[in-house]
Chain A
Amino acid sequence: MGRLSQVDLLVIGTDAAGFAAAACAARSGAQTALVATGFESDCDATIAEPPNFVWRLLDLHQYELRFETLPARTSYFADGASPLTTVNDPLAAGRALAARAPALEHLWSAFIDEMSRPQARAADSGVSLGPGRYQSANAALDDYFADEQLKTHIVGAALAPFGLAGDEPGSAAALAAGYLQSHRRAAYAPLVEALKSAARAAGVEIVEPRLKRLGRDGSKLWKAALDDGREIRAANAMASSALLAEAAGIRIDAGGSPLRRRSGAQATIRIRYDRKPKLSAKDAAAAFFIATDRDAIIRARNAMIEGRLDDDAPLAFEIRGKEIIARAPYCPARLRDNGETREWTGQDRQILGRQAAALIEKRLAGATGTPRDIEVTIGPDAASGLRRRSFDVPPTPAPPPSADPIGAAVALALEIARRE
């Protein structure tokens, strides 16, 4: 077995967060290698803009990156119910919500303010052990609001990306995790290319073969066995994302975050139409969410755990020109029929894609064109990775799941690099 190299830090995961973390660690002086898990996917449509400190460290202004803000979030509910839209500016959103109930004008601002407080944010890192740490998101929302549609809207924005339904202990942390805040977003693929270039420029050793096994040798070095039989040894190792690492069967330490996805997977459905949806630019510039109510979200999460796709499963989507990128956050990673578990087939994907397209067309009242092509990708499956873990190896640090995955991964990489 050949040895490839020995480095200060091995970053596991070649997603945007992995490239950024490796590049920043290398820039801060650590000899860094980056290896893929094999569970990375390029189907993400957009990703939150890297925070300023990453931008500066990697001189990202050198790359032609375009970011845009989705100024609004719109939720569609049951047939016949009016959609609900909130804009990112809390004051403006409060004023708009006052039409539903006058008290919401102030409650909304107070809620956003409470969720943005540093103490609440700390809960996301798993370090804060203060009151409310164990609270469910639904309990927190019930404290604030009576409007069921508004609560469904918030769960869709804040919890669905984590695969949570709102009744899980600790899920209130998702409300503080930043999904309700305004984030500029970039198209995923160009950003990954830019970060990959930045990583190369910083001297990161980007290893082509995938990680096969992560272990420790007697000298307390991490030992990464690659697909091609070679090995990398590293003084430190980290995962770029908790989900990727767990799907790869790596035992992780994500600082105790309650937001880790423990079951099911997120499906990404890319629908290409023959024309742009007939919506005004203002109406189209939103993050959309479809769910009947919070009970429907819980039903979908429960069905996901049991290996079923609920008929009324929620869907999130964004409009990107002629494409709609939809996400089904409560998808089973494997399907269960008649007591047997099986993988997703092409036909299953096709059915999911068609259902999603039909639902979107219905909610947008026929504003979409004719679907030309539907592509469905099932995201990483943490639960099956959990069953392959080795307990002989200490847990690998991973950033807590966050609305700002690049910032979280880079912060962890810098902390490790500076500790050295």
Chain B
Amino acid sequence: MSDFRRRGGPKIEGGVDAVVLGASADALAAAALLARAGLHVVLIETGGGRFHDKAEFAPGYFAADGDPIAAALDQEVIDALDLYRRGLSFARRRLETFVRFSDGAALVLPGDPEIGHEAVAAMSEADADRYAGFIDAERKTARAMAAWFSGDATLDLSPDVYIEKSTASLDDMLAGRFEDARIFDYLRAEAALGAAARPSEPFTYLALLRRMAGDAAGLQGGLAAIEGGGRGLVNALRRAGQAGGVAIRQTDRVKSVIVEFDRVAGVEFDDGGQIRAPVIVSGLSARETFLDFIGRARLDIEFARTLDEPVARVAGARVNLAVNGPLADPNAAAALDRRFLYAPSPFELDRAFRLAGEGSCGAPLIAEMTFPSAFEAGLAPQGCAAASLHLHPVALRPLSDEPWRAEVEAAARVAFGRLAPGSASLITALEVAAVDAAAPPTAAAIERRARLTGASGLEGYFFCGPEAQIGGPLSLAAGRRASEGAMRYFRHGGID
């Protein structure tokens, strides 16, 4: 044994085929898929994105980690990893959406988008056929785009249709389409939730098609509530990984990714220890993946510019609410195991975007609300409810910014009051839990994904971080794509 080893020097670990960095659902999916293909995989759970157990945000009220709603879950990953057998289940398939408008009217859209026009007919008979025709045509287009959204390089659509759909604004495609302006408001809110740009700005329409292209619980364009929320999905993935032999390590001490002759060769830790592996998959953010672990000097200049793209000034905020008692509004109280959406008027939404851009937070804004306690017992005391509210758009600020938190809390109270009139006084506690930067236009995000996943100039380095996910963090498609690329690379002896 060398003197170095005798002195207890850093450990260099070999015999590993692939290292996966991160703790997100996509990183777990990538690790499990690689292990299933026979690779010896080490998953290093590091950085953000780690799902935690439910946390008590007010006495007796618990918040489940992660969004309980899935709009797009990659069926190939579910099948390949047999996730239903590993514990993935849905608390509710075909989730209804209860939409409340600025004039106080309500619309209950069924979980199956194909029959949404029946609900629309109750609000505007003249629009029922138009809505049915629009949804039918656009779901077909969305179906043709589904593989492209989830990572295929090619798109099975004529260039004319692609240019129209990808460049149009929501207003270009929707304004004047329906007699009842509230249907326009609903579709605008649905697509603008999470987006950085106003619905009147170009390239925003594609977000609606992305939403329609999603597939959760076997229904295109439908929504499903995962049992246990994002944590439930992650637990199923972790079980699948462990069954395939993935070694999971939890550490925040990863220092860098080792690069030798433009190929990755493993990861290095703070103490000098290394895990040598020819393949690395990262589910961390692009900046961590490439700038922190590789360094700008080793990256292609054009590629590095992709990492410098300015972050949006607007964001979405997630707020947990403790609701002490049944909702006063009978329409809203009829069922809590559904999704609630406040669709602001165009004027309200424009104002909210302006205030968010100016660094503030207006009200009302788009509000998506679920009651996790309606899907999972034990999250709230008997007769009470725990609500999770996603507010958009607000200014992008750190959670520690007290004045901003106060504004978000005020906006949450307004949103709750709009969604469940007469019930705002039931809120006994309120916690601003997370803030997520708004997404760039979908086509721009897809273009960025293509650059980030394919042009770093480093062989053996695969990316499935948040910037590779189009359509939410629970889709798993980015993890699947990264694992497919990694497997091809590994099997061809380092030639992708």
The answer on A and B forming one complex is: yes
Verify B176–A388 contact, CB threshold 8 A.
yes
| A residues less than 8 Å from B164 (CB atoms) | 253, 256
User: Contacts A134-B440, A391-B176 known; A170 to B347 CB distance under 8 Å?
Assistant: no
A270 vs B175: C-alpha distance when bound (angstroms): 33
Of A298-306, A311-319, A348-356, which binds chain B? A298-306
Verify B350–A126 contact, CB threshold 8 A.
no
Name the distance in Å between B178's Cβ and chain A's nearest Cβ.
9
| A residues less than 8 Å from B177 (CB atoms) | 389, 391
Name the distance in Å between A256's Cβ and chain B's nearest Cβ.
3
| In the complex, A263 has a CB within 8 A of chain B | yes
Verify A258–B163 contact, CB threshold 8 A.
no
Name the distance in Å between B447's Cβ and chain A's nearest Cβ.
7
A129 vs B202: C-alpha distance when bound (angstroms): 14
The B-contacting residues of A in range 107-146, CB under 8 angstroms, are 126-127, 129, 131, 133-134, 139, 142
| B residues less than 8 Å from A127 (CB atoms) | 163
Which residue in A131, A134, A139 is a CB contact (below 8 Å) of B203? A134
Of B71-79, B166-174, B251-259, which binds chain A? B166-174
| B residues less than 8 Å from A375 (CB atoms) | none
A142 vs B308: C-alpha distance when bound (angstroms): 12
| In the complex, A336 has a CB within 8 A of chain B | yes
Verify B200–A305 contact, CB threshold 8 A.
yes
Verify A134–B444 contact, CB threshold 8 A.
yes
User: Contacts A127-B163, A139-B310, A253-B164 known; A169 to B197 CB distance under 8 Å?
Assistant: yes
A260 vs B310: C-alpha distance when bound (angstroms): 24
| In the complex, A106 has a CB within 8 A of chain B | no
| In the complex, B201 has a CB within 8 A of chain A | yes
Classify the interface of chain A: helix, strand, loop or mixed: loop
User: Contacts A126-B163, A256-B164, A306-B347 known; A387 to B175 CB distance under 8 Å?
Assistant: yes
Which residue in A134, A168, A253, A262 is a CB contact (below 8 Å) of B443? A134
| In the complex, B354 has a CB within 8 A of chain A | yes
Verify A169–B444 contact, CB threshold 8 A.
yes
The A-contacting residues of B in range 124-142, CB under 8 angstroms, are 130
| In the complex, A44 has a CB within 8 A of chain B | no
A258 vs B163: C-alpha distance when bound (angstroms): 11
A202 vs B451: C-alpha distance when bound (angstroms): 51
| B residues less than 8 Å from A169 (CB atoms) | 196-197, 201-203, 440-441, 444
| In the complex, B454 has a CB within 8 A of chain A | no
User: Contacts A134-B440, A168-B197, A305-B354 known; A386 to B171 CB distance under 8 Å?
Assistant: yes
A168 vs B196: C-alpha distance when bound (angstroms): 10
Verify B441–A305 contact, CB threshold 8 A.
no
| In the complex, B357 has a CB within 8 A of chain A | yes
| In the complex, A255 has a CB within 8 A of chain B | yes
The 0/1 profile, CB within 8 Å of B marked 1, for residues 254-277 of chain A is 011110101100000000000000
| In the complex, A40 has a CB within 8 A of chain B | no
The A-contacting residues of B in range 174-192, CB under 8 angstroms, are 175-177
User: Contacts A126-B167, A386-B172, A391-B176 known; A302 to B197 CB distance under 8 Å?
Assistant: no
The 0/1 profile, CB within 8 Å of B marked 1, for residues 149-183 of chain A is 00000000000000000011110000000000000
A259 vs B445: C-alpha distance when bound (angstroms): 20
A6 vs B200: C-alpha distance when bound (angstroms): 37
| In the complex, B309 has a CB within 8 A of chain A | yes
A142 vs B310: C-alpha distance when bound (angstroms): 10
Name the distance in Å between B203's Cβ and chain A's nearest Cβ.
5
| In the complex, B351 has a CB within 8 A of chain A | yes
A168 vs B171: C-alpha distance when bound (angstroms): 15
The B-contacting residues of A in range 337-391, CB under 8 angstroms, are 383, 386-391
Q: Which of chain B's residues has its CB closest to A341's CB?
A: B347
Verify A262–B163 contact, CB threshold 8 A.
no
Name the distance in Å between A68's Cβ and chain B's nearest Cβ.
34
Q: Which of chain B's residues has its CB closest to A139's CB?
A: B310
Q: Which of chain A's residues has its CB closest to B177's CB?
A: A391
A171 vs B203: C-alpha distance when bound (angstroms): 11
A306 vs B345: C-alpha distance when bound (angstroms): 12
A260 vs B171: C-alpha distance when bound (angstroms): 12
Q: Which of chain B's residues has its CB closest to A170's CB?
A: B202
Verify B197–A387 contact, CB threshold 8 A.
no
Verify A167–B176 contact, CB threshold 8 A.
no
Verify B175–A389 contact, CB threshold 8 A.
yes
Q: Which of chain B's residues has its CB closest to A164's CB?
A: B201
- 8 closest pairs, A vs B, by CB? A256-B167, A134-B444, A386-B175, A258-B202, A389-B176, A302-B354, A256-B163, A387-B176
Interchain residue pairs with CB less than 8 A apart (24): A126-B167, A131-B451, A133-B444, A134-B203, A134-B443, A134-B444, A139-B310, A142-B310, A168-B202, A169-B202, A170-B201, A170-B202, A170-B203, A249-B176, A256-B164, A256-B166, A256-B167, A257-B167, A262-B171, A302-B357, A305-B350, A306-B350, A306-B354, A387-B176
Question: 17 other contacts beyond A134-B447, A262-B172, with CB at 8 A cut-off?
Answer: A126-B167, A131-B451, A139-B310, A169-B202, A169-B440, A169-B441, A170-B167, A255-B163, A256-B164, A256-B167, A256-B202, A262-B171, A298-B357, A305-B200, A383-B175, A389-B177, A390-B176
Listed in ascending order, the chain A residues whose CB lies under 8 Å from chain B are 126-127, 129, 131, 133-134, 139, 142, 167-170, 249, 253, 255-258, 260, 262-263, 298, 302, 305-307, 336, 383, 386-391
Listed in ascending order, the chain B residues whose CB lies under 8 Å from chain A are 130, 163-164, 166-169, 171-172, 175-177, 196-198, 200-203, 309-310, 347, 350-351, 354, 357, 440-441, 443-444, 447, 451
